[in-house]
Structure 1
Amino acid sequence: MSTVAEPRSPYARTASSGTNWEKWGWMYMRASGVVLVVLIFGHLFVNLMVGEGVKAIDFAFVAGKWATPFWQYWDLAMLWLALIHGANGMRTIVNDYSSSVVLGKVLRGAIYASAAILIILGTLVIFTFDPCPSVSPEQLGLLPSFCPPQ
């Protein structure tokens, strides 16, 4: 009584119900990897090659960059793709190496939760970033020098 089919027996494809999530996860990894390479090299080129190089990257540089919606969406796409790409890779590792069903579910839940929290927080930082917030008179010295007096 063998549970493995004979080597020369014809392959019997079983009817699957629903979506093949492993196939779509595999395809996402390839597509997001290509897009991430473009986004990351564009990010590095603008931050390190254009202008004064790495010595110019400071609070004012980020504030000026995020004042333009183009760079907000560029960084948002990089954030979302990188976090989902990494979470999908970690999910694959958990699926391959988890020793029990319960442990796999707990680890995948932790991966999904941490990715969701980081995506939400990163998105909030990108779109709510204000380099010149309104502050009390005692805190005026804490504002960057390029902020107008209030």
Structure 2
Amino acid sequence: MNASLRSHYLEVFGIPEFLHIQVKNQDLNVSKINTQCLAIETNPVHSFCKIGKTQDFLFKMLGAIGLEKSNIRYVSANINDLNQMLKQYNAKIVLLMSSDLKSSSYKHFVTHHPSEVLTNEQLKRETWEVLKRVKQYLK
């Protein structure tokens, strides 16, 4: 609908134009998924989105800091689509589980993917330190 036709309709119905706001940002109409924790992986060999050892370990890691399965959402995303993925969620914290990613917000935490921790014992201490910071933030 062009602006002229729109103005005509508003006038016919007696609606002042300033009361009729045209939404330019379509993101306002999209409802977001609420979650306490959003865990994001990018192209892993062993995905935690599939039932198995890696997913179990993810839940153990997050359970160790007091998060329950029901408060965790987990997704696999392409690095190029990461911003789009983040727009879909309203998460209290975001765990970016890939050493290739950088934190872009105070509520984003970067740590190793559970499959990496399972195969490399030396990553456990570093991962635990990040999880302790997450726990502090959640309080």
Q: Output the TM-score relative to the length of structure 1.
A: 0.26
Larger proportion of strand: 2
Larger proportion of helix: 1
Q: Which has the larger radius of gyration?
A: 1
Q: Output the TM-score relative to the length of structure 2.
A: 0.28
